[in-house]
Amino acid sequence: MSKTLLEIDSSPLGERSVSRHLTREFVESWKQANPDGRVVTRDLNLTPIPPIDAASIGASYTAEDKLTTDQKSLLTLSNALVEELKSADDYVIGV
């Protein structure tokens, strides 16, 4: 069974970022060790993550069949991020 690596980068410095160079090196080494593996990359500068507020907390505690359209929209990104975390076998986080 192939493995999945979740790579999370957070530096806004782009190519000048030391942490991005380090995560890239880690990813290349990981790929060599897992040639059939899959890498999911999450750049926190390309995906603005809104702060958690009362509305998003309320939505997360609402039964799925009772969610309003607005609540579903609030949870879309959060659910995607949680799924990325849950589906990964390994993680590298550049901060």
Phi and psi dihedrals of 12, rounded to 5? -85, 5
Model confidence, pTM: 0.86
74-86 mean pLDDT: 95
Q: pLDDT at position 48, please?
A: 87
Which domains, from first to last, does the chain contain?
4-94 (3.40.50.360)
Three-class secondary structure of residue 9 per DSSP: strand
What tens digit of pLDDT does each residue of 26-61 get?
Answer: 999 999 999 999 999 999 999 989 999 999 999 999
Distance separating alpha carbons of residues 54 and 33, to the nearest angstrom: 43
